[in-house]
Amino acid sequence: MSADVTNSGPRIVVGVDGSPSSRAALRWAIRYADLADGTVDAVMAWHVPSMLGSYPWASIDETDDLRGSALKALEAVLKAEVEADDSHLASAEVVNGHPAEVLLHAAAGAELLVLGSRGHGRFAEALLGSVAQHCVHHAHCPVLIVRDGPT
């Protein structure tokens, strides 16, 4: 999926990891982009485990496979969650790195960063995950947290 670059509305970045809360965040971002004549950059972070590079059997092909797998996963989420009529609003990007840093970099110049947050019980629902917490404190744009649930 690729974004329609002729849109003059807001650029919205949404973090997608395949979880129900990130899917809800993606659906919210698409609806908002449609209403505001904006675009959505759906971003998924991936990284090579640090121990992988220290083994002689690790190769560039394996890291390419990891990136390709992440891209396939992101495209599958977009296909499942974004209506065909709205597919022109979204672009998919996978980036190697820590999720919080990847999302902050992607959100540079964006008007909004949308993230999902997974609660695990009453107390945990009042808290944000480490990625969302980092982004809320360090983003240079507003951050919207979407909880998993009916949309």
Count of domains for the chain:
1
* Tens of each residue's pLDDT in the chain, 151 residues: 544 445 679 999 999 999 999 999 999 999 999 999 999 999 999 876 665 555 555 555 566 678 889 999 999 999 999 999 999 999 999 999 999 999 999 999 999 999 998 655 554 445 567 898 899 999 999 999 998 765 4
Report if residue 4 sits inside a domain. no
Q: Between the CA of residue 109 and those of 14, 37, 44, 112, what are the distances in Å?
A: 13, 17, 18, 9
pTM, full prediction: 0.82
Residue 6: is it exposed, middle or buried by C-beta count within 10 angstroms (0-12/13-18/19+)?
exposed
Measured CA to CA, the distance from residue 125 to residue 133 in angstroms comes to 13
List the domain range (segments joined by +) for residue 133.
11-147
CATH of the domain at 65: 3.40.50.620
- Within a domain: 1: no
88 inside domain: yes
Does residue 3 fall inside a structural domain? Answer: no
**What pLDDT, on the 0 to 100 scale, is given for residue 148?**
74
Residue 69 lies in a domain: yes
